[in-house]
Amino acid sequence: MKKYFVIVAVVAAVAACNSNTNSSTTSDSSAGTSASTSSDLNNNPDYKKGLDLIASNDCLTCHKVDEKVTGPAYRDVANKYDNTDANVKMLAQKVITGGSGNWGAVAMTPHPSLSQADAEQMVKYILLLKNK
């Protein structure tokens, strides 16, 4: 259940990340790195597909990329989990089944109509938000 909540959080963070990517730059020396990282992500098909799926679902109601709302920030989820096939599958299942406990007492709403493939795509997007 915790993993599912994490996945939902990651998905919401990813959607919010797209609008906040350029505003997170705080110094001239990091501007080039942020711009190239953002450009790299925008060219990543997993990023684009996951972002579209998150935007078309209710994920952003409870999650944002860089701030905790009802659920954890997507970036926090990305920083907690390595981007492995096992974690993608586990977190996708959490998105589908819902649950609580991994990020606090508030339960994540299940999304049973979401396919495993779409949930995995959303998780892939979220995990791409990991701080480097």
Given a cut of 70, whether residue 17 has pLDDT beyond it is no
Given a cut of 80, whether residue 14 has pLDDT beyond it is no
Show me where the domains of the chain are located. 2-127
pLDDT (0 to 100) of residue 35: 45
Give me the half-sphere count of Cα atoms (radius 13 Å) on the Cβ side of residue 75.
Answer: 13
- pLDDT tens-digit map of 45-102: 889 999 999 999 999 999 999 999 999 999 999 999 999 999 999 999 999 999 888 8
CA distance 95 to 108: 8
- pLDDT tens-digit map of 108-129: 999 999 999 999 999 999 999 9
Tell me what the mean pLDDT of segment 4-17 comes to: 45
CA distance 73 to 60: 10
CA geometry: angle 124, 22, 83, nearest 5 deg: 20
CATH number for region 2-127: 1.10.760.10
Given a cut of 70, whether residue 28 has pLDDT beyond it is no
pLDDT (0 to 100) of residue 20: 38
